[in-house]
Amino acid sequence: MMATWMRIALLATAVLNMFGAAVFVPFFQNFRESNGFPAQSHPLYLWIIASWIFMFGLCYFWLGVTGRRERLFLVIAGAGKLTFVLLLFVYWQTGQVSINAALGSLSDLFFAVIFGIWLWRTRNDFIYLEETPK
């Protein structure tokens, strides 16, 4: 079973992802703009981003509720959160998104670190068996 602190972190990041998904829904242009993102983008790209953020949020919620220990998902999720933070800070430095967008991503950095801590602490809990030749 997953530690309570990690389950709470997963539930918290699920909420964060639901908010993040809403930012990218195409008809919430003012909401996106007020959070420091470019207001105009093609709706196809916005829907893709919103749906992926939403689906990851559902997965965080499910893991938080059930306590399932899905290491590969958390590796991918942590890498995704770090990538999101890095991209926003790069685009802020080049003047393409506001400082609000970059600073808003610090919660993703926090959760990426939390995921990394959990992955490190549980690294020996999983035994990987090699298939023996028959």
User: What is the number of domains present in the chain?
Assistant: 1
- Tell me, what's the pLDDT at 35? 85
Question: For the packed helices 4-24 and 43-66, what is the interaxial angle rounded to 10 degrees?
Answer: 160
User: Is 128 a domain residue?
Assistant: no
User: Is 91 a domain residue?
Assistant: yes
User: Is 130 a domain residue?
Assistant: no
This prediction has a pTM of 0.87
User: Is 131 a domain residue?
Assistant: no
Domain that holds residue 66: 4-121
Query: What is the DSSP code (8-state) at residue 51?
Result: H
User: Is 8 a domain residue?
Assistant: yes
- Tell me, what's the pLDDT at 134? 57
Does residue 94 carry a pLDDT above 80? yes
User: Is 11 a domain residue?
Assistant: yes
Integer CA distances (angstroms), 36 to 20, 74, 83, 124, in order: 12, 27, 18, 41
Residues 6+ apart with CB under 8 A from 18: 54, 57
Poorest-pLDDT segment among 16-25, 38-47, 121-130: 121-130
